Amino acid sequence: MQVNIEYRPSFALAIVKLAAEEAVVAEAGAMVSMSSNVQIKTSSRAADGGKRGGILKSLKRSVFGGESFFMNTYTAQGGEGEVTLAPTLPGDVLSIPMTGSGLLIQGTSYMASSPGISIDTKWGGFKTLFGGEGLFMLKATGTGEIVVNSFGAIHELQMDGPYIVDTGHIVAFDETLSFEVKRVGSWKSTFFSGEGLVTEFNGKGRLWIQSRNPKEFGKDIGSRLPPRRA
Amino acid sequence: MQINITSAPDYAMAEVSLTADEKVVVEAGSMVAMSPHMQIETKARGGVLSSAKRMLGGESFFINTYTSAGNPGLIYIAPGPPGDLRHLQLPGGDFYIQSGSYVASSSGVQLDTKWGGAKTFFGGEGLFILKASGQGDLIFGSFGAIHEVDVDGNYSVDTGHIVAFDAGLTFNIRKVGGLKSLFLSGEGLICDFSGKGKLYIQTRKPGSFVHWLTPFRPVKQESAGGPLGIIYNIIRRFI
């Protein structure tokens, strides 16, 4: 599986080349185009090649992970194949090679992975529900490629020591980093600063952040649209 | 007509230079700036019936023709969504454009709505395709970048990502996989292309973006009056 990313950073497209009988797992709705010998299989299973999972795990991912309930597996049959994938929002795509150590991914930033990678939900803690800014992380383990997307540009930080990031701007980070979700300043600031909750990281590892917060954009545009029915 | 595309690929804009009395046909609402002597004529192109057909095609009922009266002139054109623009010189023969992607053309290019087939209504994802024929300039746009694929054989695209394609390609629309995939895969309809020709696809899908935005729309309140309603609305602001 070879991943080439074009049209960065604003409208990135991941072009995934598959060898014969090779597969890629992608979030439902991410497929843009594909060669005709690629077969789609929809499963409610976790993205671990079907070894574990099942409907309960999928539900957990969907309800808590901010992610689609279903995943699609694209397999190139009888020869080489190609699948192109794109996220919904304008922004960048990044392919991160995984060599054994785990990666935590913000639920909505997950786009695709090789079948050797297993995806599980990690509970961000009760506090994260507060203020509507859920921090639901997916935990990826195994070896292979994992493809993440961002709203806006992706900025990589090499962490060594404490650092604070707005929860809505987190894309992914190495599991070597510890994190804690906190209020910002006083209770007054929590409610009115517009910053909601922040995540304090500590330790050594990589952290990827996105230069725009999807929720802020949604609120900004959505509130100007005509009301929908409840 | 001289066409220069600037600010590509993220926020492309077409700069069209016209000779004296030359015309350019532009999708309604796409004019950005123009020389003061430019004359605008709004038409329900091809008569009311044909226009209604075009409206079904996701395109505006009316189309504007700009004429550079008496002198050379300049007009800037940009589509609605952020993204790229392509300019093609049509040699004659046919060319197909997803109706929402049409931006402008020279007067020698005829536009006709080609029915994508009844199947395209299925799942709410209409695929309406305009047939451009004749000789001249054509400008079309995308949401996101334009990815070009040289198809030789078969290739499949999600219908919402199609921008345009050559007459060398034929297409057939189908659902994804089995019934389970259709409803649960999150993928819309797939368009299978076959033949030899160039296919233009957009890297973002307008329909998915709108779908993403929907939960952020305000919710119509049935009767949220009184003090409880006010408290409810305050709480809602933070959730």
Are the Cβ atoms of A31 and B187 closer than 8 angstroms? yes
How many Å apart are CA B44 and CA B54, to the nearest integer? 10
Bigger pLDDT: A1 or A121?
A1
Q: What is the mean pLDDT of residues B10-34?
A: 96
Whole-number pLDDT of residue A123:
55
Type of residue at B71: N
For residue B193, the chain A residue with the least C-alpha distance is A36
Task: Please determine, for residue A68, whether its predicted confidence score (pLDDT) is greater than 60.
Answer: no
Considering only CB atoms, A31 lies closest to which of B158, B212, B218, namely B158
Q: What is the CATH number of domain B2-212?
A: 3.60.160.10
Q: A60: pLDDT confidence band, cut at 50, 70 and 90? A: low
Structure confidence by residue, pLDDT tens digits, B24-65: 999 988 999 999 999 999 887 555 555 565 555 555 567 899
Structure confidence by residue, pLDDT tens digits, A162-194: 999 988 899 999 999 998 888 777 766 666 666
Q: How far is A173 from chain B (nearest CA, A)?
A: 25
Question: Angle at CA B210, nearest 5°, toward B207 and B214?
Answer: 140
- Distance, first Cα to last Cα, chain A: 44
- Which residue shows structure tokens 């980070």? A173
Percent of chain B exceeding pLDDT 90 equals 56
CB A39 within 8 A of CB B190: no
Whole-number pLDDT of residue B165:
95
Rounded alpha-carbon distances, angstroms, from residue A228 to B30, B136, B191, B209, B224: 28, 44, 31, 16, 15
B-chain residues near A27 (CB < 8 A): 186
DSSP A215: H
> What's phi and psi for A185, nearest 5 deg?
55, -140
Closest to B125 measured CA to CA, from B91, B82, B175: B175
Q: Mean of the per-residue pLDDT values for chain B?
A: 84
Q: Which two tokens stand for residue A123?
A: 């509970």
Q: CA torsion A212→A217→A219→A221, rounded to 10°?
A: 170
CATH topology for A2-222 is: Double-stranded beta-helix (3.60.160)
Structure confidence by residue, pLDDT tens digits, A203-224: 999 999 999 999 899 999 998 9
A-chain residues near B214 (CB < 8 A): 222, 228
Three-state SS for B87-150 is EEEEEEEEEEEEHHHEEEEECCEEEEEECCCHHHHHHHCCCCEEEEEEEEEEEEECCECEEEEE
Whole-number pLDDT of residue A45:
47
SS3 A214: helix
Which of A6, A16, A27, A31 has the highest number of chain B CBs within 10 A, making it the mutation to test binding with B?
A: A31
Q: Mean of the per-residue pLDDT values for chain A?
A: 84
> pTM here?
0.85
Domain ranges of chain A: 2-222
Q: A71: pLDDT confidence band, cut at 50, 70 and 90? A: confident
Percent of chain B exceeding pLDDT 70 equals 75
Which of B84, B125, B147, B199 has the highest number of chain A CBs within 10 A, making it the mutation to test binding with A?
A: B147
Considering only CB atoms, A228 lies closest to which of B82, B156, B214, namely B214
Task: Please determine, for residue B123, whether its predicted confidence score (pLDDT) is greater than 60.
Answer: no
A-chain residues near B234 (CB < 8 A): none
Ramachandran bin of A154, using left for φ above 0, alpha for ψ from -120 to 50, beta for the remaining angles: beta
CB A102 within 8 A of CB A175: yes
Whole-number pLDDT of residue A54:
53
Whole-number pLDDT of residue A175:
92
Other beta carbons within 10 Å of B196: 11
Structure confidence by residue, pLDDT tens digits, A96-119: 999 989 999 988 899 999 999 998
Whole-number pLDDT of residue A50:
41
Q: In sequence order, what are the beta bridge partners of B77?
A: B14, B31
SS3 A209: strand
Q: What is the mean pLDDT of residues B76-80?
A: 95
Considering only CB atoms, A32 lies closest to which of B9, B161, B181, namely B161
Whole-number pLDDT of residue B177:
61
How many Å apart are CA B58 and CA B100, to the nearest integer? 6
Q: In sequence order, what are the beta bridge partners of A7?
A: none
Task: Please determine, for residue B75, whether its predicted confidence score (pLDDT) is greater than 80.
Answer: yes
Bigger pLDDT: B73 or A68?
B73
Q: How far is B104 from chain A (nearest CA, A)?
A: 23
How many Å apart are CA A193 and CA A204, to the nearest integer? 29
Structure confidence by residue, pLDDT tens digits, B149-197: 999 999 999 989 999 999 999 988 887 765 555 555 566 688 999 999 9
How many Å apart are CA B206 and CA B213, to the nearest integer? 11
B144-175: string of b/e by CB count within 10 Å (b at 16+)?
A: bbbbebebeeebbbbbbbbbbbbebbebebeb
Q: What is the DSSP string of A92-135?
A: -EEEEEEESS-EEEEGGGEEEE-TTEEEEEE---GGGGGGG---
Q: Does A187 touch chain B (CB under 8 A)?
A: no
Task: Please determine, for residue B68, whether its predicted confidence score (pLDDT) is greater than 80.
Answer: yes
For residue A130, the chain B residue with the least C-alpha distance is B239
Q: In sequence order, what are the beta bridge partners of A140?
A: A103, A119
Q: How far is A215 from chain B (nearest CA, A)?
A: 9
Q: How far is B120 from chain A (nearest CA, A)?
A: 17
Q: What is the DSSP string of B152-213?
A: EEEEEEEGGGEEEEETTEEEEEE-SSSHHHHHHS----EEEEEEEEEEEEESS-HHHHHHHH
How many Å apart are CA B154 and CA B173, to the nearest integer? 13
Q: Does A223 touch chain B (CB under 8 A)?
A: yes
Task: Please determine, for residue A69, whether its predicted confidence score (pLDDT) is greater than 60.
Answer: no
Considering only CB atoms, A40 lies closest to which of B144, B176, B217, namely B176
Are the Cβ atoms of A228 and B212 closer than 8 angstroms? no
Structure confidence by residue, pLDDT tens digits, B105-121: 999 999 876 655 444 44
Q: Does A69 touch chain B (CB under 8 A)?
A: yes
Type of residue at B226: G
Q: What is the mean pLDDT of residues B210-222?
A: 84
Residues 6+ away with beta carbon under 8 Å from B235 = none
Whole-number pLDDT of residue A47:
41
Q: Does A188 touch chain B (CB under 8 A)?
A: no
CB B213 within 8 A of CB B169: no
Q: What is the mean pLDDT of residues A2-15?
A: 97
Structure confidence by residue, pLDDT tens digits, A114-142: 999 998 866 554 444 444 445 678 889 99
